[in-house]
Structure 1
Amino acid sequence: MSIARLASNATGHDLMHTTTHGGPRHTLRRALKQPLLNVVARLPDGVQRAMFAPRMRRICIRVPLLRAVYSGCLRRHPFDLQYGIDTSGLVDAQALQRDPGLVAQLNPYMGSQPTIIRRALDTLGDIAGYTFIDIGCGKGRPLVVASEYPFARILGCDISAELVKTANENAIAIAGRFAHRPPIRAIAANVADLALPPGNAVVFLFNPFGPELMAALLAKLEAALASGASGHLFVVYDNPVCGDVFDASPHLQRWFARMFAYDSGELGFGPEEREGVVIWQSVRGARPDAFADRHRRITTRDRMSASLD
C-alpha cells in the first residue's frame, strides 16, 4: 500500500495505527503483538485454515489482542503461491519512513485482494495503450494483476526502497513466465517527487496515506490534466478513506462506486470480507456515464477503512 506507504490496499485496524503515544497499556500491547503474529505465521497451513474459517474469525476478531492476528497479512497469499512471487506480509509505517512528520501520514503496507483489483479494472472498458500507475505499490501485487490487462506499461511507486526491490524481483519473475505481458517497473519515490508519464493513465490506490499527501497527489494529477500532458485519466481507489479529496476536484467526476466481496479463496488473507472501490475519471476526455450508482456516499470508519452507503 505505501508513494509516501507511498506504500498496496491496508486495513489491519489497531495493529496498523501509526501513532506512537498511548501510555503503558498501548506499549505493552504493541510489545505482545509482534511475537504473537510471528507464532501464528509459523503454524501449519491446516491450523491456520481452521483459525481463519469465517465463523472462527468473526468471534476472535472481537478480542483486542487477537484482532491483529486476523488481519491475515502474515499468511502467504494464494496469489503468491500461484505465481511464485512475494507480495504478502505487513510492513508498519515506521519501517517505511523514518521522518516522524511523514510517518504520521503513512499507512502500513499490505497487499490488496486480486479479485477486487480485477473487478475494478473490468469496469473501465478499453484501456489498451493506457499506463497503469500504482501509487504506493509496496511489493507490487496490483502491478502483477494489472499485467493481465492490455496496458502499454505498468509503473509502481513506493517510498520504501526495500519494498520496491521486492516489487521489481516479482516483475522479473512474471516477465520470465509471461513474456507477452506488458513490462512492469517500480521506483522508489515520494509523492512530492512523482512525475506522471504523458498520455492516458489508470492511477491505482489502496489507502496508502492520509489526506495531506492525497491532496498533494491530486494537485499533480490536476496539473498534468490542465497542461495537456495527461490525456484521459482514471483514478481507482480501493478502500477510499480520503475519497472526499477526489470528489472535490473540478477536474474529476465519478465513474463507479461499489462494495466488492473477497473471493472465497481470499477470505482470511485480508482484514475484511469486502471492500469499497470508488473510481473517478477525468473531465478531459470523459467517457459517457455507464454506472447509475456511482455516487454512493463514502463513510470513513477510521483512517484505515471506509465503506460505501
Structure 2
Amino acid sequence: MAELETERLDRDGIQDRSAGRLARAVRLLCERGPLEPFRLVRRHGLAASASFVARNVQHLVADHLARKWDRDHNVDTAGSIQLAGLSIVGPNRDQGNECLCTSPKTFDFIMRSLPSDLGDCTFIDIGAGKSRTLLLASRYPFAKVVGVEFAHELVEIAIRNIASFRGPAQKCRDIEIVEADAAAYKFPPTPLVVYFYNPFSKQVFDIVIRNLAASLRENDRACHLVYGSSSHAAIDWARPAILAGGAFEQLPTPPMPGFLDAVRKIDYAVFRYRRDGGEGTSAA
C-alpha cells in the first residue's frame, strides 16, 4: 500500500513529500466517498491497513514536531526533499537518496555512543541536506562542524539556516557547508567524526569510504564513523563495506528506541578507525 505522498512544493519551490499528507487523505475521501477506507481494508487486509495508518500517523506527528523545531530555532530543515529538479554538482545525481533530516532525539541518542571528549574533532555530515544535523552537532563541543552537499538549492538553504540558527545551547559556532560531490570531497587532516544518514547508493559510498581510509592512512588520526539508515536495509551493505580492509572496527551500541520526532526509526552502527593497523573486527 503506497504512502500518502504529494507533489507539494515547499517555500523554496522544492518538492517535499512530507507536507500535505493529511490534505491528500481528506481529498481522497471527498473524491471517492466515505466508504473508501472500508474498501481499502477489504482490498489490503486489516493488518496491512492498520500498519499503513500507523506509519502515516507517525509521519504526521514527526513532521509536525520537525516543523515546530524549525520555528523554535528560526530555520528551515524539515521535510522529505526529492532531488528531482535540483541543481546537482558532479555525476552522481542518480545515486543520491531523498533528503530526510535526522531527528533531535535520534541524534542525541547516537551521540551517547561517541567519546565525550570531542574538542579537537571535526564533525562531518556527508549529504548534509538543509543542515539539520549540522545544527544538532553544533550543540556539542566539536572544534568544527562541516556539511557536504551536492544539491545547490539545499546548500543555499543550509547557508541561511546556519546564519539564522537560534540555539542558546550551541557550543560550536564554526559551521561550514561545502557544495561538492561526496566522492570528490577531501577530508580535513583533523580528528574526525563522520556521519552518514543513508545519503546515496553503495556505489558512491564505497568510493567515499576508500577516500576516507586513504586520508587516515596518509595522516594518522582518530576517526569515528556513524552510519544510519531508515530504509532500504542500507545498514546491511554499509557495515561490511566499512569493515572491509580492516581500517575500522565496529563498536557496541544499544538499539535505537522509537522516538515521536523521528519519521522512521533509524538502524545505526558506530565504527572506530583502527590506528594500530590491525584487522577489523565486528562487535556483536
Same fold (TM over 0.5): yes
Residue 221 (str. 1) matches residue 221 (str. 2) = no
CA distance in 2, matches of 1:276, 1:104: 24
- Write the mapping of 1:254-265 to structure 2, written as runs, cut at 5 A: 254-264=250-260
Taking structure 1 as reference, are residues 169 and 253 closer, same or farther at Cα in structure 2, changes over 3 Å only? Answer: same
Task: Please tell me whether the aligned partners of residues 88 and 150 of structure 2 are also in contact (alpha carbons under 8 angstroms).
Answer: no
**1:114 aligned to 2:95?**
no
Partner of 2:32: none
Deviations 1:12-43 (A, max 9, x none): x966xxxxxxxxxxxxx9xx743696543669
Whole-Å separation in 1 of the counterparts to 2:81 and 2:253: 28
Q: Distance in 1 between matches of 2:133 and 2:69?
A: 11
CA separation of 1:220 and 1:259: change in aligned 2, threshold 3 A: same
> Is the aligned partner of 1:83 residue 2:73?
yes
1:188-214, Cα deviation, whole Å (9 max, x unpaired): 100232011111010001000111100
Q: 1:245 and 2:241 equivalent?
A: yes
Calculate the aligned-residue CA RMSD, in Å: 3.4
SS in 2 for 1:182: coil
Find the aligned partners of 2:2 and 2:83 in 1 and give their Cα distance: 13
Normalised by the size of structure 2, how large is the TM-score? 0.72
- Whole-angstrom distance in 2 between the partners of 1:150 and 1:99: 31
- Residue aligning to 2:193: 202
Name the residue aligned to 1:295.
283
**Are 2:40 and 1:40 aligned?**
no
Q: Shift in Å at residue 60 of structure 1?
A: 5.2
Equivalent position amino acid for 2:247 in 1:
H
Is the contact made by 1:133 and 1:201 (CA closer than 8 Å) also made in structure 2? yes
Match of 2:110, SS state, is helix
Q: Which has the larger radius of gyration?
A: 2
Assess if the C-alpha contact under 8 Å between 1:74 and 1:89 holds in 2.
yes
Instruction: Using the aligned pairs only, state the percent identity.
Output: 22
Structure 2 CA distance for aligned equivalents of residues 220 and 260 of structure 1:
29
In the alignment, the residues of structure 2 paired with residue 139 and residue 285 of structure 1 have an alpha-carbon distance, to the nearest angstrom, of: 37
Q: Which runs of 5+ in 1 are unaligned?
A: 1-12, 16-28, 44-57, 287-293, 297-309
TM-score by length of structure 1 reads 0.67
Q: Does 1:184 align with 2:175?
A: yes
Work out the CA distance in 1 between the residues paired with 2:249 and 2:111: 17
Measure, in 2, the Cα distance between the counterparts of 1:59 and 1:146.
38
Q: What is aligned with 2:222?
A: 232
Give the secondary structure class of the aligned counterpart of 1:198: coil
1:172 paired with 2:163, answer yes
Q: What one-letter code is carried by the residue in structure 2 that aligns with 1:151?
A: F
- Describe the SS at the equivalent of 2:275: coil
Helix, strand or coil at the partner of 1:295: coil
Residue 145 of structure 2 aligns to a residue whose secondary structure is strand
- Where is the strand percentage greater, Structure 1 or Structure 2? 1
1:245-296 CA distance string (max 9 Å, x none):
10213111112344312434x1xx51x2x3222011100179xxxxxxx734
Q: Which has the higher contact order (CA 8 A, sep 6+)?
A: 1
Query: Out of 88, 97, 113, which is 1:123 matched to?
Result: 113
Q: Which amino acid aligns with 2:74?
A: G
Q: Does 1:161 align with 2:157?
A: no
Q: Does the CA-based 8 Å contact 2:92-2:181 persist in structure 1? A: no
The question of whether the paired residues in 2 share the 8 Å contact of 1:37 and 1:68 is answered with: no
Task: For residue 140 of structure 1, report the CA deviation from its aligned partner.
Answer: 0.9
Q: Distance in 2 between matches of 1:96 and 1:231?
A: 36
Residue 222 to residue 67, structure 1, CA distance change in 2 (3 Å): same
